[in-house]
Chain A
């Protein structure tokens, strides 16, 4: 199968690669770029374990072709923070025990990152509805919501202090 030349930016780094038209973005990220934070859960856009941020939107990368990401700016969990410099959402997921098995966590945090861009000061209910495309089967949802609200509060406090 002929391959397509694709250029995109992943976690701030320009990437050029050849991909078949049938290749899904999640497979390119995981198998070719070794970016394995986004996981494959359902393959039908329902669970959100593969959530990435693409051009300012939350995208479920299991149902997007790599070709559709040509020219895109992609951020995954790996681009949100590093072990030495955690994103505040990562810190809050840790501190509020917003994870158990951790399989949904990268997608969950990446979606929460975009949610807080869309709505920097969400109510609890807005978090619950805004996160409903990301499933968790083991932690339940209470601590995930707490972590996101705590991160929002922290980010807003930092913003206020800066003003």
Chain B
């Protein structure tokens, strides 16, 4: 199916199942602990053995030699495979750092060996016996230094690194009110609950692998490249995934090590990355340094807006696109954005939930708060004054649907925004209380997605697509889509996901999964409806699918009967034509936060949070709300505690576990509320839905930062806002 015209009325609009608060269809499995994640795909008949990784002890350099003799002789050891043994390998298309192979060390904890043994304990003990001699080289680990030699890349994910409209410098100088500040965001860790894990089983040249992957086809292709086997020989499965947030978008070392280990040991091998490897062996969200400049008239109308961002990555890597949203979010005749990439020899920087916008909004939305204060205009009003209904860099391009203003107004009303006072003006006992606001913004991305839908003689609809459910609710919304399209109750739908034997879907990433994968299912259902109509001699345009029957004129036939003993199937791929060229598709929202800051200790506590989101049709208010609440919670960590601390001497992230990388806990999150705007976006898809999962994170940390400023009068521009950054500026306790 080519989606090339805005959607008109279609069977989804019935909203009998889609849009309804349907409980997760995988809830039972998960609440009973019976959902099987990658590491526990137990088959009692398969004699699994265990692989344990060895990571590089230096950040940059070469392996001179490796001594694995002690490891090989250790009890239970079946095989030791080193990076030197497997030699240089072709790298997967989506990987910047190589995962395994060759003597070069690009970052700390890059895999240098895997030890396979009969038991986990034996493998771990023997891994400690592997001796490696390195030739260490000097690396770059400090972004503040490395930014001086940062380069301008040719393009950033298909977009230019710089944009300029009008005369930014002239307008900035001429404006009656202007503001210029620099912000920093730290390296962050996805820290999903499930560590990367894989089980690899070889049968001759064919490899079966269970792993934890957000993108089945990307992993399969890149694993084939790295192993140098035919892609068709690899069967890859990820039916349940314990969170990803971008950390499982691209092939990871556990899959490669399990495959090499299994080959060498001639046994099925399980490999889980130990938690510290998740930080220094895999990817993380890169730190940024961002400069934001805003100039405006006294009325609050922005006349110039500029956003520059610096981030680092390994050679050949990519930058964090933190200035991207500033191209679209606010009006202003004169504008500039620029993004620069520094070389850093830390682990690979890559996508983490809302790459670009999450750290970009952390800076931009503090700057908007600071500018509003300078103008003496309410920050909600300041944003509304500068709303735009067109792409401000290309005014001929309207937004497909943009309701940021309603999000801000409704949120302000519901949250009691009018109670907000001047900075440091409200105190309850030891607590300084403040309110903060920020806009939320994230683009809506469109990715091809395929599915196969079968109808059997019992009237059961089975959907097969390699789409993944990383906790988002894909199983459920896909079942809802098929039920709606085929006119059956959701109990009649079986959803099978995360298997490379199924048609290639959008996968889970970039908040495109829900809209794109359900549209792929929609397209396959259209094909199945046509097949059913054709078999019955109905005109598929006139056929109505309802109550488990297909009806045309006076004739109606139960689906089970229509299927016959052979059953019927439909398969299709949605492809997206150039609708997004003429109309900018984005999602919008507003975050409101109330914090308390302890006047004596500088400790910040969230008191309540509200997000109002405008993201097209909400396919399932239960799962969508949960996505936003989860994102808001991640935003609390991002604002207050999450920071990978870089050892700039040795070149690694020091706090590489959940002891040192602090994510929010129950007690940190007292109250959260989410409101969805009742809207549809016919430009996005026949589902008229857009992404929601990342929108909930974009802006929330800035809203917290702004609330802390309102509470204390202390402006912190370096995330996370820990008490040491506040305490010197707090009012006297008495």
Contact = CB atoms under 8 A, between A and B. Distances in A.
A47 B669 contact: no
A145 B630 contact: no
Contacts of B37: 39, 103
Contacts of B119: 20, 31
Contacts of B243: 100-101, 103, 137-138
B120 interface: yes
Nearest to B125: A22
Interface in A89-128: 90-91, 93-95, 97, 99-106, 109, 125, 127-128
A30 B40 contact: yes
Interface residues of B, number: 62
B42 A36 contact: yes
Query: Which of B24, B242, B634, B657 neighbours the largest number of chain A CB atoms within 10 Å of its CB?
Result: B242
Query: Which of A20, A93, A105, A134 neighbours the largest number of chain B CB atoms within 10 Å of its CB?
Result: A105
A148 to B, nearest CB: 10
Interface in B19-69: 23-24, 26-37, 39-40, 42, 44
B138 to A, nearest CB: 32
Contact of B626 (A41, A47, A49, A100): A100
Contacts of A109: 31
A94 B471 CA distance: 13
B672 A137 contact: no
A102 B29 contact: yes
A86 to B, nearest CB: 7
A163 B120 CA distance: 50
Contacts of B667: 128-129, 132
A122 to B, nearest CB: 12
Contact of A94 (B31, B629, B663, B671): B31
Contact of B663 (A90, A125, A133, A137): A137
B32 A138 contact: no
A144 B633 CA distance: 13
Please report whether the interface of chain A is mostly helix, strand, loop or mixed according to DSSP: loop
Given A97-B24, A97-B626, A103 B33 contact: no
A140 B637 CA distance: 11
Contacts of A125: 670
Interface stretch (B96-104, B189-197, B337-345, B509-517): B189-197
Query: Which of A41, A91, A95, A133 neighbours the largest number of chain B CB atoms within 10 Å of its CB?
Result: A41
B192 A102 contact: no
Contacts of B194: 39, 41, 101, 103
A37 B34 contact: yes
A85 to B, nearest CB: 10
Interface string A23-65: 1000100110010111111111011010000000000000000
Contacts of A46: 657-659
Contact of A40 (B75, B241, B272, B659): B272
B629 A77 contact: no
A78 B658 CA distance: 26
B431 interface: no
Contact of B31 (A49, A76, A93, A132): A93
Contact of A139 (B195, B245, B630): B630
Contacts of B684: none
Nearest to A92: B31
B193 A77 contact: no
Contacts of B311: none
A78 B119 CA distance: 24
Given A86-B32, A97-B626, A103-B242, A42 B27 contact: no
21 contacts: A31-B120, A36-B36, A40-B195, A41-B658, A42-B275, A42-B659, A78-B32, A86-B32, A94-B31, A97-B626, A100-B243, A100-B630, A101-B192, A102-B240, A104-B242, A135-B663, A135-B665, A140-B629, A140-B669, A142-B672, A143-B629
